[in-house]
Amino acid sequence: MSMPDDVNVLVVGAGPTGLLAACELRRRGVPVRLIDRAAAPSPRSRALLLWPRSLDLLADLGARADAEAAGLPITAFSYFSDRRPLATVRFTPELMPLCLPQSGTEQVLTAALHRLGGRVERGVRLLALDGLDYSGRIAAGDRVTAILEHADGTVERCRVEYVVGADGAGSAVRGQIGTGFLGSTYGLAFALVDAPADGPLPADRALYHQSPAGALVIVPLPGGRYRFFASLPPGEQLSVELMQRILDHRGPGGVRIGPADWQSVFRVHRRHAPRFQLGRVFLAGDAAHVHSPAGGQGLNTGLQDAHNLAWKLAAVLHGEAPVDLLASYGPERQAVAHRVVRDTDLQTRAWLLGNPAAVALRDTAFRTLGRSGVLARLYAPVMAGRRLVYPPVRPTQLPSGAATCTLRARMPGGIRVGGVAPVGIGHPAGGPRTWTLALVDPDRVLAGVAAGWPQVAEVDVAAVAGCERPGYHLIRPDGHIQAHGHAGDRDRLLAELTTVLGAPDPAERPSAASLLPLPG
């Protein structure tokens, strides 16, 4: 069985990463197939927290209100050592995570996909990829053939220009491109129980209990239930009774766990693929990196991968950027994934400390950082995704000469090249494929500079915090700042536009593939 070549992108896996990738492609007019081997979505809720950067992505899809209606804001994280309070991080509304069990996030994204005219093809499994070019060059070959098995046993060959492997930690796509999954697995097993509970538990705060016997995390769920998540004592079998004993021993007293809605034992890994792309095939989400659930970053990191990749694929498929744009996906997202794997590893090791000297050191650090407000000021924005930066890789992304704004941008909260542009500097100026060129240009020396690139919308802004000089911020369709410069940097800007978007003459650009009309 074979299908006509009318699909540009095949997304393998309809977890949160694949669903967002399909939504982001469809809203940019790219025909996409989204397949999943499972016959139905999983009712199990592995990940719980959606951080503000992820909520921004849902807002772009018109899905944030659905998530907020189903979720529960978590106002603070409180940390304990041997049941003694160490520190509490209170979240301001801008940094507050939403507790929405993963099945709820998947429902919200599936509804958004349906609104965009897409759907999930269930019971369809990727078996293999044919026609891979192992030289790794993205433009090598014109298509990849995916061999898919349907639930009734039929096998289909599907030819597409690009494949996104969002097929989770055991990724078949990763196996096909022959990249490894480097890292290790923690020695201890972890257990979770989702259940109602009686007793003095906060309804809007997550509790992190650390003790020499192990870790216990308690997170309130929407609907008045709780997740109890703990390192499992060696040799023990999980039951509600065991979790109750762990709770009595490591956690707050006087709490009774009710019958479990779901319980599970799992191993936690810290691993990443050494490359996120081979030729026309990309890895995203758990297929590319897995790590400890400390800090609730896994699902959020996968959503960011999908967001980073989808607009680039759309730009290349529409002939609005050279294929080289896609080469930036791997390095940008690998750097983020490495940091998340490292940070969550540190946190997990801190949870599991047993040596009294190390515990005393950890507890002193927590108390000091908590009291001084450093945890709230510096760590909360990182968890919230508000410090997400793709560092510049070319001089043309930065102003020429010495500039005080470059120094100021390095301060926490500064507007950095590579960071997400605040709405106040003119973004977003157009549709989901539009770049924004925000100009502070009282003398009109930069006006019209992007005229050769219709995908760039010029917007006049009065001022940009952190830079008093007339100049520009070039903002990508995903909201990240591609480049910043001053009034005298016109040539730098032209060079940067040519590098990322191709020559200004439309005749010199690659021709657009056949694509969908943009949804209303």
Out of 168, 220, 399, 471, point to the residue binding ligand FAD (CB under 6 A): 168
Contact 205, 75 (CB under 8 A): yes
Contact 16, 299 (CB under 8 A): yes
Between helices 329-351 and 298-317, what is the axis angle to 10°? 180
The span from the CA of 241 to the CA of 253, in Å, is 15
Nearer to ligand FAD, 317 or 383 (CB): 383
Stretch that binds ligand FAD, among 36-44, 271-279, 389-397, 433-441 (CB under 6 A): 36-44
**Cβ atoms within 10 Å, residue 370:** 19
Can you read off the two tokens belonging to residue 227? 């997740």
Out of 26, 27, 33, 46, point to the residue binding ligand FAD (CB under 6 A): 46
Nearer to ligand FAD, 284 or 501 (CB): 284
Residue 104 touches ligand FAD, criterion: CB under 6 A: no
Can you read off the two tokens belonging to residue 150? 């349907």
Nearer to ligand FAD, 197 or 439 (CB): 197
Residue 13 touches ligand FAD, criterion: CB under 6 A: yes
Q: Which residue shows structure tokens 């999954």?
A: 181
The span from the CA of 388 to the CA of 335, in Å, is 10
Residue 428 touches ligand FAD, criterion: CB under 6 A: no
- Cα torsion through 386, 299, 163, 9, rounded to 10: -70
Can you read off the two tokens belonging to residue 30? 């790219």
Sign of the torsion formed by the C-alpha atoms of 486, 488, 489 and 493:
positive
Out of 297, 308, 334, 397, point to the residue binding ligand FAD (CB under 6 A): 297
φ/ψ bin of 174: left (φ > 0), alpha (ψ from -120 to 50), beta (otherwise): alpha
User: C-beta of 246: minimal distance to ligand FAD in Å?
Assistant: 16
Nearest to 392, CA basis, from 444, 335, 315: 335
Nearer to ligand FAD, 229 or 435 (CB): 229
Out of 10, 11, 15, 250, point to the residue binding ligand FAD (CB under 6 A): 15
Residue 31 touches ligand FAD, criterion: CB under 6 A: no
Residue 298 touches ligand FAD, criterion: CB under 6 A: yes
Question: Which residues between 106 and 165 bind ligand FAD (CB under 6 A)?
Answer: 125-126
The DSSP bridge partners found for residue 219 are 227
Question: Which residues between 301 and 340 bind ligand FAD (CB under 6 A)?
Answer: 302
Residue 24 touches ligand FAD, criterion: CB under 6 A: no
Nearer to ligand FAD, 11 or 116 (CB): 11
Nearest to 304, CA basis, from 420, 132, 213, 215: 420
Residue 14 touches ligand FAD, criterion: CB under 6 A: yes
- Beta strand pairing status for 98-99 and 84-90? unpaired
User: C-beta of 292: minimal distance to ligand FAD in Å?
Assistant: 9
Contact 118, 70 (CB under 8 A): no
Nearer to ligand FAD, 48 or 138 (CB): 48
Out of 105, 244, 300, 347, point to the residue binding ligand FAD (CB under 6 A): 300
Sign of the torsion formed by the C-alpha atoms of 308, 310, 316 and 320:
negative
DSSP 8-state symbol, 516: P
User: C-beta of 333: minimal distance to ligand FAD in Å?
Assistant: 12
- Cα torsion through 99, 13, 58, 453, rounded to 10: 150
Q: How many residues bind ligand FAD (CB under 6 A)?
A: 34
The span from the CA of 48 to the CA of 305, in Å, is 18
Out of 101, 214, 251, 293, point to the residue binding ligand FAD (CB under 6 A): 293
Residue 388 touches ligand FAD, criterion: CB under 6 A: no
Residue 17 touches ligand FAD, criterion: CB under 6 A: yes
Out of 299, 421, 437, 449, point to the residue binding ligand FAD (CB under 6 A): 299
Burial of 234 (0-12, 13-18, 19+ CB in 10 A): exposed
CA angle 293–299–300, rounded 5-degree value = 105
Residue 266 touches ligand FAD, criterion: CB under 6 A: yes
Cα-based distances in Å from 51 to 40, 74, 76, 158, 212: 26, 10, 13, 36, 30
Stretch that binds ligand FAD, among 132-140, 200-208, 285-293, 476-484 (CB under 6 A): 285-293
Residue 37 touches ligand FAD, criterion: CB under 6 A: yes
Residue 457 touches ligand FAD, criterion: CB under 6 A: no
User: C-beta of 361: minimal distance to ligand FAD in Å?
Assistant: 27
Residue 283 touches ligand FAD, criterion: CB under 6 A: no
Residue 232 touches ligand FAD, criterion: CB under 6 A: no
Residue 220 touches ligand FAD, criterion: CB under 6 A: no
Q: Please report, as ranges, the residues that interact with ligand FAD according to CB under 6 A.
A: 12-18, 35-38, 46-49, 102, 125-126, 166-168, 172, 192, 264, 266, 285-286, 293, 296-300, 302
